[in-house]
């Protein structure tokens, strides 16, 4: 390889030549000539000597002109860029994991066995040895006698261990190191079974599996299944994060500046108008489609595994969705009610299977989950123009045709209410719609973590079953609406330019789901570990007491 300091040694660099505006043909000559000169200059210093002038071949000139043409097109913005993400192995097939001490050498076959040196001994055999040790008129047998009778006894430490076991019997526990080895082995069995079955797993799931094993079996005091422990465990067992699917995206940047300018002008105009309203009167609403089963594009897999297939509850859940329509106020609060549209074959919910009465949701059915103008009218009457909301409001919505029909909207306004409607310009919602820019994604992340846990730990809980789906949305919307997330909710308005400042915050997924797996459920007498931390009462709650046995609609703010 040519050293980097050789690239510009001796005269102007290629970059400098391009910068001063030399014609394309001359640039091509310059690129080809400079490349040849550098190769000759470099190898001339080594054992190879090039003789003759630095002749630029026709092939080199042709290649250089192609490069110049690509640069010109890129500068003018005429290039369509295709980006491809593919699964690649970061390590070669010969890569060996680092040692994982003390978990990767000797492992007890069961917690009913004891370790003596490099041997696993059953508790029954240990009791036989104790009986033999005491069965003598001299008080106890000698070490040599014990070694001769029991080959797994090799030194005085083993006699000491037998004495401790004799005293503690069923309460006797192996050393922490041996228990950790056993836990590691059990964790591998569980993870191997889940991956072979097709479950999508992540580090948080490994942590919870380890904590469940410890809670039910090993009972190691102070074991936290820390991030560093999980990382070392994955390396030792050749488990890595792999992409499940290949994505190809195509981007066109031609109208980027025009769209950006339109968005900036709209925000400036809105800020002038919003200054006449209290932040508690300004709200944004946006429809978001939610897939019935949400999973990330990555999962843990064994190193070298090429095809990564993962389990879902229903294939149709990946192609069917429902619509969710919340209200986000500028003061960092959510509207008291959100709107949800589910698809039903007849367009109505069957009387034989009524939907649950969730206090923070208005749920409607349609032949598809797509919002219609009639459903928009219902949303306005049931979620917007209600006594819990201000009488005077500033309504920021996108350019969906029904939202641009201001006459139909004003027909739904009851006496005593006043609303100013502004429609975000087309193609700018990703830039200046608060819900779109920094709410829909984090809310769906909450749903993903809920679904991932349910699939891994509560396989009999059908996520896409209609009433389960409704309660899941209601309870998680209740969590994200808490006062604790006010700075997070305000940040959506700051990110889109409508306000200038916001406080630091913790994302809902991080607060509710990270570092909760080692905490016991707060319900008295419940033996389960927690699944979520409530953002309102700050208690740790298991899955059963969050959504199955109870519905945790916490009364705290």
3-state secondary structure of 340: strand
Residues 300 and 325: beta-carbon distance below 8 Å: no
How many Å apart are CA 378 and CA 285, to the nearest integer? 14
Tokens, residue 478: 């209740």
Ramachandran angles phi, psi of 23, nearest 5°: -55, 155
Residues 516 and 506: beta-carbon distance below 8 Å: no
Q: Is the pLDDT of residue 436 over 90?
A: yes
Q: Which residues pair with 121 in a beta bridge?
A: 114
For the chain, the farthest-separated pair of C-alpha atoms sits apart, in whole angstroms, at 108
In this predicted structure, what is the pLDDT of residue 166?
A: 77
Q: Is residue 443 part of a domain?
A: yes
Report residue 34 CA to chain centroid gap.
Answer: 48
Size of the chain, expressed as the number of residues it contains:
557
Rank 13-22, 29-38, 348-357 by mean pLDDT and report only the highest. Answer: 348-357
Residue ending a domain, choose from 58, 79, 100: 79
Q: What's the pLDDT band for 293 if we cut at 50, 70, 90? A: confident
User: b or e along 370-392 (b: 16 or more beta carbons within 10 Å of the residue's beta carbon)?
Assistant: ebeeebbebbbeebbbeeebbee
How many Å apart are CA 486 and CA 290, to the nearest integer? 23
What stretch of H or E contains 180? Answer: helix 176-197
Question: Cβ contacts of residue 382 below 8 Å, gap of 6+?
Answer: 337, 339, 362
Beta pairing class for 282-285 and 392-397: parallel
Tokens, residue 51: 């003789």
Q: Is the pLDDT of residue 117 over 70?
A: yes
**pLDDT mean over 426-448:** 93
Ramachandran angles phi, psi of 114, nearest 5°: -120, 155
- The region of weakest confidence among 1-15, 335-349, 427-441, 460-474 is 1-15
Residue ending a domain, choose from 79, 111, 134: 79
Residues 280 and 390: beta-carbon distance below 8 Å: yes
In this predicted structure, what is the pLDDT of residue 149?
A: 87
Residue ranges making up the domain that contains 55: 4-79
How many Å apart are CA 375 and CA 339, to the nearest integer? 9
- Please give the model's pTM, rounded to 2 decimal places: 0.64
Model pLDDT for residues 210-264, shown as the tens digit of each residue: 999 888 877 777 888 888 899 989 988 888 887 664 433 344 444 678 888 999 9
In this predicted structure, what is the pLDDT of residue 65?
A: 80
DSSP state of 114: E
How many Å apart are CA 337 and CA 357, to the nearest integer? 12
Report residue 100 CA to chain centroid gap.
Answer: 26
Q: Is the pLDDT of residue 268 over 90?
A: yes
Q: What's the pLDDT band for 507 if we cut at 50, 70, 90? A: very high
Average pLDDT, the chain: 80
Q: What is the 3-state secondary structure (H, E, C) of 466-499?
A: HHHHHHHHHHHHHHHCCHHHHHHHHHHHHHCCCC
Q: Is the pLDDT of residue 54 over 70?
A: no
Cis preceding-peptide flag for 102 (omega within 30 of 0): yes
Handedness of CA 224, 226, 231, 236 (dihedral sign): negative
Q: What's the pLDDT band for 17 if we cut at 50, 70, 90? A: very low
Beta pairing class for 282-285 and 327-329: antiparallel
The 10 Å Cβ neighbour count of residue 173 is: 15
Q: Is residue 407 part of a domain?
A: yes
**Cα atoms in the 13 Å half-sphere on the side-chain side of 20:** 9
Residues 322 and 369: beta-carbon distance below 8 Å: yes
Residues 26 and 14: beta-carbon distance below 8 Å: no
Q: Is residue 318 part of a domain?
A: no
Tokens, residue 235: 């390396």
**pLDDT mean over 117-122:** 74
Q: Is residue 214 part of a domain?
A: no
Handedness of CA 308, 312, 314, 320 (dihedral sign): negative
Residue where the block lists tokens 């809310």: 443
What stretch of H or E contains 270? Answer: helix 256-274
Question: Cβ contacts of residue 538 below 8 Å, gap of 6+?
Answer: none
Tokens, residue 312: 């879902």
* Domain count within the chain: 2
In this predicted structure, what is the pLDDT of residue 317?
A: 59
* pLDDT, greater one: 166 or 398: 398
Q: Is residue 223 part of a domain?
A: no
Q: Is residue 58 part of a domain?
A: yes
Tokens, residue 135: 């069965």
Q: Is residue 303 part of a domain?
A: no
Q: Is the pLDDT of residue 86 over 90?
A: no
How many Å apart are CA 247 and CA 252, to the nearest integer? 17
In this predicted structure, what is the pLDDT of residue 73?
A: 66
Q: 227-236 and 203-213 are packed helices; what angle lies between their axes, rounded to 10 degrees?
A: 100
**Cα atoms in the 13 Å half-sphere on the side-chain side of 57:** 5
Q: Is residue 458 part of a domain?
A: yes
How many Å apart are CA 28 and CA 17, to the nearest integer? 11
How many Å apart are CA 375 and CA 362, to the nearest integer? 11
Q: Is the pLDDT of residue 85 over 50?
A: no
Question: Cβ contacts of residue 397 below 8 Å, gap of 6+?
Answer: 284, 285, 286, 403, 421, 422, 423, 424
Residue ending a domain, choose from 79, 104, 138: 79
Model pLDDT for residues 371-409, shown as the tens digit of each residue: 999 999 999 999 999 999 999 999 999 999 999 999 999
């Amino acid at each position: 390889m040519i050293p980097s300091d050789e690239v510009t040694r001796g005269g102007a660099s290629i970059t400098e030549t391009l910068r001063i505006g030399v014609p394309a043909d001359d640039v091509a000559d310059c690129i080809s000539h400079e490349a040849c000169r550098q190769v000759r200059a470099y190898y001339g210093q080594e054992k190879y000597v090039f003789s003759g002038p630095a002749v630029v071949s026709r092939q080199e000139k042709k290649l250089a002109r192609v490069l110049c043409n690509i640069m010109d097109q890129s500068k003018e913005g005429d290039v369509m860029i295709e980006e491809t993400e593919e699964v690649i192995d970061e390590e070669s097939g010969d890569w060996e994991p680092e040692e994982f001490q003390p978990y990767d050498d000797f492992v007890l076959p069961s917690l009913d066995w004891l370790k003596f040196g490099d041997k696993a001994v059953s508790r029954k055999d240990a009791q036989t040895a104790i009986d033999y040790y005491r069965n003598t008129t001299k008080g106890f047998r000698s070490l040599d006698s014990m070694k001769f009778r029991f080959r797994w006894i090799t030194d005085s430490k083993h006699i000491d261990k037998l004495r401790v076991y004799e005293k503690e019997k069923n309460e006797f526990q192996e050393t922490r190191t041996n228990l950790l080895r056993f836990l590691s082995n059990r964790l591998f069995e569980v993870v191997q079974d889940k991956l072979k079955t097709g479950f999508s797993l992540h580090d948080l799931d490994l942590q919870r599996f380890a904590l469940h094993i410890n809670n039910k079996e090993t009972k190691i005091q102070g074991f936290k299944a820390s991030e560093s422990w999980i990382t070392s465990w994955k390396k030792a067992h050749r488990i890595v994060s792999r992409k499940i699917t290949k994505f190809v995206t195509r981007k066109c940047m031609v109208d980027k500046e025009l769209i950006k300018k339109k968005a900036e002008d709209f925000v400036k105009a809105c800020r002038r108008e919003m200054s006449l309203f209290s932040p508690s009167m300004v709200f944004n609403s946006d429809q978001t489609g939610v897939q019935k089963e949400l999973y990330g594009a990555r999962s843990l897999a064994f190193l070298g595994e090429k095809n990564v297939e993962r389990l879902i509850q229903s294939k149709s859940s990946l192609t069917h969705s429902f619509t969710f329509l919340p209200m986000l106020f500028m003061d960092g609060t959510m509207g008291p009610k959100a709107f949800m549209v589910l698809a039903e074959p007849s367009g109505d919910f069957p009387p034989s299977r009524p939907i649950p009465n969730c206090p923070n949701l208005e749920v409607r059915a349609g032949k598809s989950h797509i919002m219609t103008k009639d459903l928009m009218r219902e949303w306005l009457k049931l979620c917007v123009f209600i006594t819990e909301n201000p009488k005077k409001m500033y309504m920021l919505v996108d350019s969906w045709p029904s939202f641009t029909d201001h006459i139909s909207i004003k027909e739904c306004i009851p006496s005593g209410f006043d609303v100013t409607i502004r429609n975000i310009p087309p193609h700018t919602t990703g830039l200046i719609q608060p819900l779109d820019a920094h709410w829909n994604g984090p809310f769906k992340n909450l749903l993903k973590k809920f679904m991932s846990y349910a699939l891994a730990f509560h396989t009999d809980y059908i996520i896409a079953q209609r009433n389960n789906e409704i309660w899941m949305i209601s309870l998680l919307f209740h969590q994200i609406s808490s006062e604790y997330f006010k700075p997070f909710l305000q940040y959506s308005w700051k990110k889109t330019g409508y306000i200038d400042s916001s406080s630091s915050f913790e994302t809902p997924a991080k607060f509710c789901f990270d570092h909760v797996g080692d905490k016991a459920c707060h319900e008295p007498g419940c033996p389960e570990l927690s699944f979520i931390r409530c953002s309102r009462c700050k208690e740790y709650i298991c899955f059963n007491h969050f959504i199955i046995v109870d519905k945790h609609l916490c009364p705290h703010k």
